[in-house]
Amino acid sequence: MTDKQKHLISLGILVLFVAASVFMIYPVNKSAKLGLDLKGGLSIIYTAKDTPGAKVTDDKMKQAEYVLRQRVDALGVSEPEIQREGARNIMVQLPGIKDPEKAKEILGKPAVLQFAIVSDQYSAFSEKELNTMKKQGKPVLGPVLLTGDKITSARAAYGGQVGAQPIVSFSLNNEGANTFAQVTAQNVNKRLAIVLDGKIVTAPNIQGPIPDGKGEITGIKSIDEAKEIALVLNTGSIPVTLDISEAQSVGPTLGADALRAGIVAGIVGFALVAIYMLLYYQGLGLVTWVGLSVYAALVWGVVATIGRTYGWTLTLPGIAGLIISIGIAADSKIIIFERLKEEMRSKKTFRTAVESGFWHGFRTSLDADIVTMVAALVLFLVGIGPVRGFALTLIIGLVLDVVTMLLFTRPVLGLLAQIWPVKSPAMLVRIPGMRRVAESA
């Protein structure tokens, strides 16, 4: 396979990548999920603190995350985001929230876990239907018989009569065990609803009296559902305090202004870099302009793909990371072009200078990208909130910088070195002190 064929294959692969990016970007107004600083809404970061006699654990953080998620769902916010940030932080983002103070009050109150018997006339309905009727004011539940503070532990496992069904086993303290024994003895074959913050999570059937304070919930469809129920049962006794370490409320007008400013900054930065490269490097500057356009399309395509696949949101710091990455991509081309000029000053032919100059410049650029990548990875791993957004877009830019160098810059320079108009290299780049450099095949 000739060098020309290799270069054409590289460009063909790049064209496929660009086409895929354009597909993911379209329509442009829905190509990225915007963060609260661009869209407006409420952002809260909760930090867990140890309580006397108990330390924060991963299981307790999962329980707290579950409770917050249930409460956010009850708020009716569209496209909310609840996720762990590090070992002790939970970030809650509520786009378009109209009453931030009320939302913070609802999210911050202690969890309330209750047990009640489903009324006989409603026992045939599913949990979803029971919740709907409960909101309508219908008496689907009897009085509260037991509260979650009596539960000592709950866990999901496989068991049941065949030994392979998802179940949830739980234990109660002495007071809870006595109450539970009476409740189960008096309500055999009735449904016992487990209610978290007013919402019925599950309502298993009482198969018989449970005198020892240890019970099992059966009839669960999957082990994931069993884990969620176990989390709910454990929620009533979470020995962890969630404090608001950061709260940010952004109005929709301010968010729109920030988005507009970010887009303008990106376009202006891109244009200034392209103009500078065109004026300073002449023909190679045009190569840079096309290369940066390809680079921008790939970066935006990756951002759109991650947003649609994983729900990642683009924030103002994320846009800053994209703008910085444009400068990094231009810097890589400057390094390669300057090395090419050095090779030509040493009386090498243009074709030879392109080959050796690219690889020397590529190694230098790769070293710089790796150093920046390490710093960005550290920011992504230890940072929270918008800091991770900045780090992620910077990482995307660095990876695609290497991709465009290999799949665009190298093959384009290689092809230019083989076509007739460039047998006078001055048409591509001005080299001070040199009037002519001979070109040989």
Tell me the three-class secondary structure of the chain, residue by residue: CCHHHHHHHHHHHHHHHHHHHHHHHCCHHHCCEECHHHHCEEEEEEEEEEECCECCCHHHHHHHHHHHHHHHHHHCCCCCEEEEECCCEEEEEEECCCCHHHHHHHHHCCCCEEEEEECHHHCCCCHHHHHHHHHCCCCCEEEEEEEHHHEEEEEEEEECCCCCEEEEEEEECHHHHHHHHHHHHHCCCCEEEEEECCEEEECCECCCCCCCCEEEECCCCCHHHHHHHHHHHHHCCCCEEEEEEEEEEECHHHHHHHHHHHHHHHHHHHHHHHHHHHHHHCHHHHHHHHHHHHHHHHHHHHHHHHHHHHCCEECHHHHHHHHHHHHHHHHHHHHHHHHHHHHHHCCCCHHHHHHHHHHHHHHHHHHHHHHHHHHHHHHHHHCCCHHHHHHHHHHHHHHHHHHHHHHHHHHHHHHHCCCHHHHCHHHCCCCCCCCCCCCCC
How would residue 421 be classed by pLDDT, with cut points 50, 70 and 90? very low
Mean of per-residue pLDDT scores for the chain: 80
How would residue 15 be classed by pLDDT, with cut points 50, 70 and 90? very high
pTM over 0.85, yes/no = no
pLDDT of residue 439: 43
pLDDT of residue 437: 43
Q: What is the mean pLDDT of residues 241-257?
A: 72
Q: CATH second-level architecture of 3-36+251-427? A: Up-down Bundle (1.20)
278 pLDDT exceeds 90? no
pLDDT of residue 274: 77
Pick the range with the lowest mean pLDDT from 188-197, 238-247, 286-295: 238-247
How would residue 255 be classed by pLDDT, with cut points 50, 70 and 90? low
441 pLDDT exceeds 50? no
320 pLDDT exceeds 80? yes
pLDDT of residue 236: 54
377 pLDDT exceeds 90? yes
pLDDT of residue 420: 47
CATH code that applies to domain 113-237: 3.30.1360.200
Domain boundaries, the chain: 3-36+251-427, 41-110, 113-237
Summarize pLDDT for 160-171 with one digit per residue, the tens. 655 678 888 888
Pick the range with the lowest mean pLDDT from 168-172, 240-244, 264-268: 240-244
pLDDT of residue 431: 56
Q: What is the mean pLDDT of residues 396-414?
A: 91
pLDDT of residue 322: 86
pLDDT of residue 430: 58
CATH code that applies to domain 41-110: 3.30.70.3400
